[in-house]
Amino acid sequence: MSSAYNPSEDGAQMGFAKAMSYGDYLGLEGLLAQQHPQSTAHDEMLFIIQHQTSELWMKQVLHELGAARIALKTGDTPQMFKILARVSRIFEQLNNAWDVLRTMTPADYTTFREALGPSSGFQSYQYRMIEFTLGNRNPHMMQPHAHVPEVHSLLEAELARPSFYDEVVAHLFQTLDGHTDNMPAPQLDSPHAAQPEVQARWKQVYQDTTTHWALYELGEKLMDMEDYFRRWRFNHVTTVERVIGFKRGTGGTSGVQYLKRMLSVELFPELWNVRGEL
């Protein structure tokens, strides 16, 4: 027998024929069998792993935002704050991941770009779901999912209910006015455009933070989240320009030009606008 240290002497369980192991619990057999490079290019594995890990984190973001919406509706503000802080940290994680992908040069990428066909992140339904949940709702973005009815229905269902930000706005009116009678109707199937009545309420909050501390904290948590989201978009477009320049995207858009347009999206416009009024 080897003279190497044997952790079983320290009690480490070594046999898993009949017990749940690490790999069983995490479903690793399935997970690690899902990388299918379409070419022999060395960097395609990095490209796949980068996207798959991003999608896993997006799944977690959606899980958190669903819980945040419930916490908001049931008045569990501490729980909601905890969740929003976590969502920002996840975005930070996604932002840091670009540093790994940036090690892929244009020369590396062109060795397998053709193998991607017309597939593109543009067709990420979890990304759209995050946008829809937060309030950036463009129904045209559902079209690429028409061929997958379950996904299409999920997106459709999201557009049929108030966004997370709509719930925040309802909470804002309820807390400040004592009712939601003067609240503008949620814009269910279009990007959230700034509403003067909403902005006026945020102004009230930011002008007297001591009185409205919890709402002030909520406003800043949303700012944090959007700040990180913007950084993700900026990192994306910068990486794209660095790797493919001004080529058209595989998804058919103008590429960098399209992504630059998306940089101007505002999730919580009243919160940005109010800063100029203080």
Ligand X SMILES: N[C@@H](CC(=O)c1ccccc1NC=O)C(=O)O
Please state, in angstroms and rounded to a whole number, the distance separating the CA atoms of residues 169 and 199: 10
Name the one range near ligand HEM by CB under 6 A: 8-16, 158-166, 248-256, 267-275.
248-256
Is 165 annotated to bind ligand? no
CB of 178 to ligand HEM, least distance (A): 39
Please state, in angstroms and rounded to a whole number, the distance separating the CA atoms of residues 103 and 243: 10
Is 250 annotated to bind ligand? yes
Q: Does 60 bind ligand HEM (CB under 6 A)?
A: no
Is 63 annotated to bind ligand? no
- Please, where are the H alpha helices in the chain? 22-26, 28-31, 44-73, 77-101, 106-110, 125-134, 149-160, 164-177, 196-207, 213-244, 256-262, 269-274
Among 259, 267, 271, 274, contact with ligand HEM (rule: CB under 6 A): 259
Please state, in angstroms and rounded to a whole number, the distance separating the CA atoms of residues 119 and 148: 15
Among 134, 169, 250, 268, contact with ligand HEM (rule: CB under 6 A): 250
Site string for ligand HEM, 71-110 (x = CB under 6 A): ------------------------------x-------x-
Q: Does 122 bind ligand HEM (CB under 6 A)?
A: yes
Q: Which entry of ligand HEM, ligand X, none binds 116, CB below 5 to 8 A by partner kind?
A: ligand X
89-94: list long-range contacts, CB under 8 Å, 24+ apart: 90/57, 90/60, 90/61, 90/64, 91/61, 91/225, 91/228, 91/229, 91/231, 91/232, 92/228, 93/57, 94/54, 94/57, 94/232
Q: Does 191 bind ligand HEM (CB under 6 A)?
A: no
Is 125 annotated to bind ligand? no
Site string for ligand X, 111-140 (x = CB under 6 A): --x--x--xxx-------------------
Binding site for ligand X (CB under 6 A): 51, 113, 116, 119-121, 244, 249-251
